A and B are shown apart, each in its own frame.
Chain A
Amino acid sequence: MVLSFPSGHSTRGGPSADQLGVIRQYAEALGRPVRLMEVCGTHTMVAFRSGLRSLLPENVLLISGPGCPVCVTPNGYLDTAVELSRRPDVILTTFGDLMRVPGSNSSLEKERARGAAVQVVYSPLDAVALARERRDKNVVFLAVGFETTAPGIALVLRTAREEDLQNFLVLCALKTMPAPMRALASGGEVAIDGFLVPGHVSVVTGARAFAFLAEEFGIPCVVTGFEPVDLLVGIGMLLRQLTEGRAAVEIEYTRAVTPEGNREAQRMMAEVFEGSDAEWRGLGNIPGSGLGLRDSYTLHDAAARFGLEVAAGRELAGCRCGDVLRGVLAPPECPLFDRVCSPASPQGPCMVSSEGACAAWWRYGRRG
Chain B
Amino acid sequence: MCLAVPAQVVSIRGNLAQVSVEGALREVHLGLVDDVEVGDYVLVHAGFALERWTEEDVREWRAILDGTWPGRTE
Contact = CB atoms under 8 A, between A and B. Distances in A.
Interface in B16-35: 29, 31-34
B38 interface: no
A151 B32 CA distance: 8
A330 interface: no
Contacts of A17: 70-71
Nearest to B57: A255
A42 B60 CA distance: 20
A41 B71 contact: no
A152 B33 contact: no
A232 B32 CA distance: 30
A152 B43 contact: no
Give the size range of B's interface with the partner.
20 to 34
B51 A152 contact: no
B66 to A, nearest CB: 11
Nearest to B5: A226
A203 B4 contact: yes
A313 B72 CA distance: 46
Given A19-B71, A19-B73, A229-B71, A67 B2 contact: yes
Contacts of B45: 148-149, 152, 200
A88 interface: no
Contact of B47 (A126, A201, A355): A126
Given A262-B33, A264-B34, A255 B61 contact: yes
Interface string A190-220: 0000000011110110000000000000000
Contact of A203 (B50, B56, B72): B50
A279 to B, nearest CB: 18
A149 B61 contact: no
A86 B63 CA distance: 50
A331 interface: no
B2 A229 contact: no
Contacts of B34: 264
A286 interface: no
Given A6-B71, A16-B70, A151-B32, A95 B57 contact: no
B29 A200 contact: no
Contacts of A120: none
A233 interface: yes
28 contacts: A11-B71, A14-B71, A16-B70, A17-B71, A19-B71, A19-B73, A21-B73, A41-B2, A68-B1, A70-B1, A97-B1, A123-B46, A123-B47, A123-B48, A124-B46, A125-B48, A146-B1, A146-B2, A148-B2, A148-B50, A149-B45, A151-B32, A152-B47, A198-B2, A229-B64, A229-B69, A264-B34, A265-B32
Closest 4 CB pairs of A and B: A123-B47, A255-B57, A19-B73, A152-B48
